[in-house]
Structure 1
């Protein structure tokens, strides 16, 4: 993702969001962590992380517990080096209970296009498997024909 560096235009901000979505849908902690600066700072719900190693460890744990994870992101707004995103993802736990998570992220990038700060607020809602919206083959990117986040929930 680092080839998309600030200052952002609408086109590059959209591309940055889609690149992030595709990376997270790979469920590869190493791949995802490379999009963040070495000393990146995170707030994820009530957790605070710093650095790529902590991010990689967090993601490894996350995807060991959030099974069949599928994510979609949508650009909310952007400035020169910041992007705001809303997202939804679905997963199930080891007991088979499905969830849809709703959230917002604030991203800040360094001059090389690496994310140096990420703040995420996320709420999980239990759903029935029959309520799932994201069922493309995973791991892997959301197919272009999949609509992503509907305008109104």
Structure 2
């Protein structure tokens, strides 16, 4: 299945899953490959443009968000746009756990690369015992 616009429900769901999978690698170089070279992001209050800024942003993010694990779900889609809901859990340098909730709006180029990403995110401190998203090392082996 080609994951390019215009999206169907199946291709939109597959695109969301592909994004979740690549973000869970926590590898900025792998993540940035899904974006156009001039991609524009709004992440919380930060504005990022282009591959170099995206890689720098993600590198900083994952240096402070330890044991990061993300889950995304399709909210809506049409043409060249997809909206997702997500949550992720991570641990800070002091060992406190956080769950971050948010929404993203995505816009894609004809080749399927994301050219725009707008993310609104809120963080809630949680107890380690309240975690509900298993990390990559905790996922069952298929």
Please indicate the TM-score interval, normalised by the length of the shorter structure.
over 0.9
- The 5-angstrom pairing of residues 91-130 of structure 1 reads 91-130=90-129
Name the residue aligned to 1:134.
133
Equivalent residues in 2 for 1:1-153 (5 A)?
3-138=2-137
Q: Distance in 1 between matches of 2:26 and 2:17?
A: 15
Question: Does the CA contact (< 8 Å) of 1:68 and 1:138 recur in 2?
Answer: no
Q: TM-score, normalised by structure 2?
A: 0.95
Output the aligned Cα RMSD: 1.7
Paired residues in the alignment total: 141
Q: Once the 2 structures are TM-superposed, how far is the Cα of residue 136 of structure 1 from its aligned partner?
A: 3.6
Give the CA deviation at 1:99: 0.2
Report runs of 4+ in structure 1 exceeding 2 Å deviation.
136-139, 142-145
What residue ranges of structure 1 are gaps of 5+ in the alignment? Answer: 146-153
